Structure 1
Amino acid sequence: MTGALAPARGLPEETLRALAAGGGGEDAARVLRAGQDARRLLLLRGLLDAAEPGPHGPAALTAWRVLTDVRRRAPTVFAAVVGYPSVGPAARRALRQAMQGDPSEAPSLLCALATTAALRANLRTTLTIPLTSPHLTLPSAGTLTLPPMPPGTLLEAHTGNGAEIRLSPTRPNTTPPTPTPTTPETSTPGPAAPGVGGTWASEVGGTWAFGWAPVRALSAGEGGEGITVVLDETDPDRMPGGALRAARMTAAEAARFGALLEDAWALLLRRHWTVAAEARVLLRAFTVLDAPHGRSTSGTPRHASGMVGLSPPVDAPGLAETIAHEIQHTKLNAVLDHHALTGPDDGARYRVPWRPDPRPLLPALHGVYAHLGVAGFWRRERRSGPRAEAAYTRWRAAAHSAALELAESPSLTPEGRLLLKGTTTTLASWTP
């Protein structure tokens, strides 16, 4: 397929060319992040449109106004909550269900987002959250497991008292039920995420026997060169389809993860500054995957932008390599929000050295681009020893051979050809 490049729809051609070469750096990452943020705003508006005609329309409209207020008063908080990885899959599912005649999840998600944003911005407000499951997820903060409640129960969330949120169960036109007192008056789970933590208590007599599972903050580096992400093991939409580890990391395991991240980040800053700059903008959260047969694995979900799933890291260089690998997938997923890189699946399959099974064109292109990042990582590590030299040689050859095979596909769009050409040129320029 030939032809001129289609309009970038917000992605400048120079940015696409920089990304095609394998990098792009902070400038390109910020362009991609801005596009992701704009798409989230469209999803939010879609949630409101789906919810307004229903019985919880007033609650959804209040949530919309609270989010608008937080965006004005605390734009960083707004961006962190609305841009949280799991919001993408959750909103897309809610909108699909609304199109199929069930809009119940739309107001629930919108109200949960507003509650989280108000909590983190310390905005005094009251929101009503329609419950659709026994778990209340507050994206970027954590998940509450609630006690049994009658169908149709609503939660009133009261924020604005520091890091405290008070919840009271109500039902339309009924007296709120009185929970059974089983725990102390308040429960303080401690720090959850940057700017989030606090007390979770019942507004009515007694307290609830529920479980609060917060996300955990992981930080590495300092000041403008540092990064803070969260370790999320509870949000049900954090990585759709991923082989998620069932058991939550122990405190010791999480502490080890944090220590390895500090060492990995120091390595990236020292020798892989472009990867570090991109990750600082685009990486928002980790979640833990099962390790099949004891082997390390990792993945990046298509619509949960900023999330990386990985098996528990073994050492700092391996974690740094995983970040270099998955940030490539993250960038390419963001490019796909602006450009189709391939046409409809024509049934052709391509053999790639990193998979035993032949792959469709788009997954194969994803793999080439990701392994360009892997080869680039080990290229800069070559002086560290035989392991690095062998890894570089292996992954450069693998990515280059696969790129040459994909170049023959008639299903690449002009943008897909541009990206593959830039990737191939970079790989060919590196010494075997």
Structure 2
Amino acid sequence: MNAEWVAQRRSSAFEGRRRFGETTAERIANLSTYIGHQRLVSDWDSSPANLLAEIVRAASELPANLQSITDVARWKADVLIIRGEDGSIKGLRKPRLNLGFRETSRGNLRLDWWVDGDNSDFNYHERDFRHNPGYKDLSEILFIRKFEMMKMKIGQPASGNLEIDLRPVLADVAIGLVEETITSLRASFDVTLYRHFNLKRDESSQLVFYGILTAEEVKAKQIEEERRREEQRVDQLRDELAKWEAKHGIGPGRAVSAWEVMAAARMRIADRLDAMKRLGATLPDGQNALESSIKGVKAILAELNTETPPFDMSEIDGFDPRDTSGNQSIARGERLQDRIRSMVAPEQFTPPSYPIRTYDATASEPAYFGVVSVREMVVRMNEKLRESNQFPISTGDYPTNKAKFARLVRRWQAMDGYVVAEAAPAGPALSMR
């Protein structure tokens, strides 16, 4: 920013978050030029030139004030050493540093540091930080005088008097000097900050509110902000579910439950989509997009800890798992068997060699189907399959465990002409080996 640019733009110089420059040093230099061109230099105690001079003085004293912190001879190196498992020295950790800023009773802005007694990482004692009249405090890092005059116009409308309207800008520069100093110290020290600025800006990034918060107040503010963000997130997710339901014509929870039940029943995608239409769903995105869309709302329901309602296949209008006339998975399987029977000779339907291991069923389980063992149940079913010119039970489908036995039972129940016997009383587990 050159002097001519500043001189020509009295109002626009205040615009933007980083007015008059990106860093505090740039802003001080450009403000000094601006004040000179606007002839705002006077002996008035609160003139812009005098207020800026207080910021410059604090910044010039900063390197000397930091020597008490940065002097490694004052660090307790023995407690900062990081050792490896073999006892070798790996490096040094950052010294712990307490920082806090405040406004003094005389309206000055002050940034201080201090130690925690014997737990400190510095070779200082708490008594070293006591105030001694006539001497600069060891704890002082920054001391910006007349800050109260700078901040008094924050948030007030422009008065038309440039000397007055420039004060919030000067306060912003003073606050920026404190913030930059804290940031630079964080690079070399493990900083614990006990005060925080509470700043608000308008749409043009002008400072309209200033305050200082304690660590407890900051924590409470963070908790409140997190609660508000969580509420907004939940509201947004619920809005997404409502939009999804309006678009697809079915509740998200019902759609997810129905889809998962049909997937567990191994229904093909085309049959599932047909069933979803029977449940009243619309497919505006096309058939292939519905599955990924349902996965998306399932994730949203999980985030909201919302349980999906139970679903039964009987809720699908016109759906019958035994119906072979419709476009359903079971009907497709029957048509496949018809094609197999038309292509393969009957003598090729010889049962394979089954595993020795057989599911250990209770006496009542095979008895319920009129047989005494699981192996006999397989023989009986193969006989029926051969009569209808169908393939026998494959080696992979042989009931070696409970899941395969349950699959065999369902297949038995679906066979035409089989009548289930009355259940036999429960008996001891049978070892069908």
Same fold, judged at TM 0.5 (above): no
TM-score tier by shorter-chain length is under 0.3
TM-score by length of 2: 0.19
TM-score by length of 1: 0.19
